[in-house]
Structure 1
Amino acid sequence: MAQAIHVPAARIKDILHGSQEITADISLRLAKFFGVSDSYFFNLQSDIDLRDAKKHLSRDLSAIKLFTEVQAKNK
């Protein structure tokens, strides 16, 4: 696959092992190779990033009040 999309095999291995993220460049190459939308793999990476951030920030996020709650409190 790496040869077919013109990238080093180590780059694909790093993505599969989670030590490198899917960039726009790789997303476009993989999309062309697999015949899916240009954003398919990029969106997968975004989903992973959001999941990881949510896990990391769970305590902070739980302390944030909704805008409507803050607004009602300030009236």
Structure 2
Amino acid sequence: MAQAIHVPAARIKDILHGSQEITADISLRLAKFFGVSDSYFFNLQSDIDLRDAKKHLSRDLSAIKPFTEVQAKNK
């Protein structure tokens, strides 16, 4: 596959092992190869990034009050 999308095999290996993210460049190449939308793989990476950030920030996020709640308190 790496040869077919014109990237080093190590780059694909790194993506599969999670040591490299899917960039816009790779997303476009994979989309063309697999016949899916240009954003398909990029969106998958975005979902992974959001999941990881949510896990990492869970304590901080739980302490943030919604705007409507803050606004109601200030009235």
Deviation at 1:14, TM superposition (A): 0.1
> d(CA) in 2 for partners of 1:35 and 1:72?
49
Aligned partners of 1:4, 1:72: CA distance in 2, in Å? 57
Structure 1 stretches of 4+ with a deviation exceeding 3 A read none
Deviation at 1:47, TM superposition (A): 0.1
- The percentage of counterpart residues that share the same residue type is 99
**In 1: Cα distance, 2:6 partner to 2:15 partner:** 15
Contiguous gaps of at least 5 residues in structure 2: none
Aligned length: 75
Cα drift, residue 52 of structure 1: 0.1
Supply the distance in 1 between the matched residues of 2:8 and 2:72 (Cα, whole angstroms): 56
Question: Could you list the per-position Cα deviations for residues 33-56 of structure 1 after superposition, in whole angstroms to 9, with x for gaps in the alignment?
Answer: 000000000000000000000000
Query: Is residue 26 from structure 1 mapped to residue 18 from structure 2 by the alignment?
Result: no
Query: Please, what is the CA RMSD of the aligned residues?
Result: 0.2
CA distance in 1, matches of 2:66, 2:25: 37
Distance in 2 between residues matched to 1:48 and 1:68, nearest whole Å: 29
TM-score of the aligned structures, taking structure 2 as reference length: 1.00
